[in-house]
Amino acid sequence: MSDRGRILHPPRRVMPILEVAGLTMRFGGLTAVSAVGFAAGRGEITALIGPNGAGKTTLFNCITGFYRPSEGVIRLHKPDTEPVELQRLAGHRIARAGVARTFQNIRLFAGMTALENLLIAQHVTLMAATGWGIGAVLGLSRYPAAERAAVERAKRWLMATNLMDRADDPAGALPYGAQRRLEIARAMCTEPALLCLDEPAAGLNPRESDELARLLLDIRAQGTSILLIEHDMGVVMRISDRVVVLDHGVLIADGVPAAVRADKKVIAAYLGEDEDSVPA
């Protein structure tokens, strides 16, 4: 098969927010991700696609610290700071370094209100404002100001995700699409440099998918970079700046949406898949 038209690691126009090099993850005898390398651009939406079992979630789990990769380097490049090697950090430190994520299966605190879910997400920021001590109780620290800022951030993301009127409802009582948006709001309350979303459009109807696409474009416009695993090719092709394709744990394409859509290796990898999940 000819490689013409296929773009692998073209010259980057933008600075990277994330660089992945030689990333391999083995589970016993199974290599789920094999020597994968790509860069996600700062201020861009990068989609990670591929057929079922391609290794997308495993790669996400390595980036966000749920798995320690067998080999390879994952570098976070935030503006004006030294690059951080995420594969060396525990999960909570990766979150503090500026990487937030959502999961394929919704993981909200179902019994807490939407607002409470957004405040809990900012627990670390609030604790830091107390000097990790009893300052909050004694009123001796920067806690009150930090608490006001946390509430303001929560309000801002309730507005942005169109959930203000559901702020006091238990998260578990919200419709499915609203819960998905609340998860994104919760991640954004931590003010991440990189937002990692694992199939945010799964289970959404077309109207909700459109709303999600607009929300992700808004988040990008506000300067947060996004790494997105998604099977909904309508959403991927519409909003992504770049698309990285995995198949059987191997990177088979990396380019702009139009180039990836026309890539013969990508088309071949998706043969036999659901029509909706094929790049078209």
Residues that bind ligand ATP (CB under 6 A): 27, 30, 32, 50, 52-58
Considering the complex, state which of residue 195 and residue 244 has its C-beta at the smaller distance from ligand ATP. 244
Considering the complex, state which of residue 2 and residue 105 has its C-beta at the smaller distance from ligand ATP. 105
Considering the complex, state which of residue 2 and residue 52 has its C-beta at the smaller distance from ligand ATP. 52
Considering the complex, state which of residue 55 and residue 200 has its C-beta at the smaller distance from ligand ATP. 55
Residue 58 phi, psi (nearest 5): -60, -45
Q: Of the candidates 219, 230, 225, which has an alpha carbon nearest to the alpha carbon of residue 241?
A: 225
Considering the complex, state which of residue 58 and residue 130 has its C-beta at the smaller distance from ligand ATP. 58
**What H or E segment, with its residue span, contains residue 96?**
helix 91-97
| Nearest approach, Cβ of residue 32 and ligand ATP (Å) | 3
Helices 206-221, 176-188: crossing angle, 10 deg rounding: 10
Q: Of the candidates 43, 38, 12, which has an alpha carbon nearest to the alpha carbon of residue 193?
A: 43
Helices marked H in 123-263: 123-129, 135-138, 143-160, 176-188, 206-221, 233-239, 257-261
| Nearest approach, Cβ of residue 270 and ligand ATP (Å) | 12
| Nearest approach, Cβ of residue 141 and ligand ATP (Å) | 41
C-alpha to C-alpha distance for 124 and 83, rounded to whole angstroms: 22
| Nearest approach, Cβ of residue 139 and ligand ATP (Å) | 46
| Nearest approach, Cβ of residue 54 and ligand ATP (Å) | 4
